[in-house]
Every structure is written in structure tokens, then in C-alpha cells.
């Protein structure tokens, strides 16, 4: 069993910092793109029993990680454990403390590398760096994203929250934009080219045949149109 700790200092009070993590989009914002290929499901709460499921790169394939929340004590602590994934075990505690309006986020991870004794042997031969270096890189990315996002949101915290509709929300930019706006407290909806899923903030449209009920987009303060060819779909050429 290995342990890993990381500390992040956030220039915001504890309620703001903990509350940021409670937004559904926080998971997408925290996880580096090289660690997450696709988010499958994220429950609306951090309370025990809720889950977040995502696909992660596994060579040329995709693996599945299922994280289940096991403790929830706002605004000081929450925890999750891996119930399915690449490690033999993974338990992650998130602790929050505040001093003079500044919050310290302490991440404590206990993990067991895969493949049992063989995995331990390989990890020891490599000085523990096979997994630890990747975890360190991930948490450094999380630290920067958390600090920068909260700092950016704080610039507009005195303004009313908006109701926003985004097309192209599944693309490279749209995915991150929706998550960023969500963690800012905005009411974000997706304009999708398939039937809208029940219980989700989605509206369906079919631009190829001109199908969109005008009344369905009434009441939005902002519409962001990102639909079209993805910037990473193909290799760039002079024509593109």
C-alpha cells in the first residue's frame, strides 16, 4: 500500500472552495484531459453512495473507473473510493481548512498498484516512480485548475448568475466551457443533435432539417454556438 499527499492553497474562503467541488462540472475541470477520455456519469451530489464514472486512456483502448463517495462533511471533508478501475485499491480523502480567508485543500490518497506482487516488484525496481510520477503530474494540474478557476469566478461573483445555452458542448472546447460555467454557478443547458435525455439540462435540435422549437430557447440570457467541425477531428490542411 502506498500513500500520496498534495496540498493546494486557494485564495478564497472555505465555503467557496468546498462549494466549487460540489458542482457537477468540477470533476471535468479537475481531471487533466490526458487522464480522462470520456465522462460517463456524474451524480449531482458528493454524499455517500453517489458515483462518478469515466473512461480513461489505456493504451489504444479505454478503461472504466467508477468512484463512489464514502464520506461527506461540508465544508471540511469528503472522500471517495475506487470500486472499479486500474488499481487494486484507491482511497482519496479531501480535507479543507481555512485561515484568514484562505483555504488549504489537502488531498490524501492511499493506493495499491495493479497486478499484486508483480506490480509491487516492478514499482520498486523503478523506485516507485511508475505510478507516483503520473499521480504527481495529475495533482499539479488539478492544483493549477482549481486556483485559476476560482480566481476567475471571483472577479464576477458580485454579478447575477446567467441562464446559458451551449451548442457543440461535447467538443474539445465545449466540454470544458460547460464545466467551467457550471462551477461558476450558472444555469447551463446543452443544445444536442440527438433526443434530449430525461432529467438532463438538454434541448434537442436538428440543424440539418431546420428543427428547433423557437419557444424552447426563450428565457436564456446567453447562447453560445460552438457547433460545427471539431478542431481535432482531422488533420489540418490549407482548406480547413
- Is residue 239 included in any domain, yes or no? no
Kindly state whether residues 41 and 136 are assigned to the same domain: yes
The domain of 172 spans: 163-225
Kindly state whether residues 48 and 149 are assigned to the same domain: yes
Kindly state whether residues 183 and 89 are assigned to the same domain: no
Decide if pLDDT at 181 tops 80.
yes
Kindly state whether residues 55 and 22 are assigned to the same domain: yes
Kindly state whether residues 49 and 125 are assigned to the same domain: yes
Distance between the two ends of the chain, CA-based, in angstroms?
50
With a CB cutoff of 8 Å and minimum separation 6, the contacts of 204 are 191, 192, 193, 194, 195, 196
Q: For residue range 86-110, what is the model confidence (pLDDT) as tens digits?
A: 888 999 999 999 999 999 999 999 9
Kindly state whether residues 136 and 71 are assigned to the same domain: yes
Q: How many domains does the chain have?
A: 2
pTM of the model: 0.86
Which domain-ending residue is among 99, 126, 154? 154
Kindly state whether residues 146 and 189 are assigned to the same domain: no
- Is residue 237 included in any domain, yes or no? no
Which domain-ending residue is among 154, 186, 209? 154
Distances (CA, A) of 39 to 29, 43, 175, 233: 11, 11, 10, 19
Q: For residue range 193-228, what is the model confidence (pLDDT) as tens digits?
A: 888 888 889 888 877 776 777 777 889 999 999 977
Amino acid at each position: 500500500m502506498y500513500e500520496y499527499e498534495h496540498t493546494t492553497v486557494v485564495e478564497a474562503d472555505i465555503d467557496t472552495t468546498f462549494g466549487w467541488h460540489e458542482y457537477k462540472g468540477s470533476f471535468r475541470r479537475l481531471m487533466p484531459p490526458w487522464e480522462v477520455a470520456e465522462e460517463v456519469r456524474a451524480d449531482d451530489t458528493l454524499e455517500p453512495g453517489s458515483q462518478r464514472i469515466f473512461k480513461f486512456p489505456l493504451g489504444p483502448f479505454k478503461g472504466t473507473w467508477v468512484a463512489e463517495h464514502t464520506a461527506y462533511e461540508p465544508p471540511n471533508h469528503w472522500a471517495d473510493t475506487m470500486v472499479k478501475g486500474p488499481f487494486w485499491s484507491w482511497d482519496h480523502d479531501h480535507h479543507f481548512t481555512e485561515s484568514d480567508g484562505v483555504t488549504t485543500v489537502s488531498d490524501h490518497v492511499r493506493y495499491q498498484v495493479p497486478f499484486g506482487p508483480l506490480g509491487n516488484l516492478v514499482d520498486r525496481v523503478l523506485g516507485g516512480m511508475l505510478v507516483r510520477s503520473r499521480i504527481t503530474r495529475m495533482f499539479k494540474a488539478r492544483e493549477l485548475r482549481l486556483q485559476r478557476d476560482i480566481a476567475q469566478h471571483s472577479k464576477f461573483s458580485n454579478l447575477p448568475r446567467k441562464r446559458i445555452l451551449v451548442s457543440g458542448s461535447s467538443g474539445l472546447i465545449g466540454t470544458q466551457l460547460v464545466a467551467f460555467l457550471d462551477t461558476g454557478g450558472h444555469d447551463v443547458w446543452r443544445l444536442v443533435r440527438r433526443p434530449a435525455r430525461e432529467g438532463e439540462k438538454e434541448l434537442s435540435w436538428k440543424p440539418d432539417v431546420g428543427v428547433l422549437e423557437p419557444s424552447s430557447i426563450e428565457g436564456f440570457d446567453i447562447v453560445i454556438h460552438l457547433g460545427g467541425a471539431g478542431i481535432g477531428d482531422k488533420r489540418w490542411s490549407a482548406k480547413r
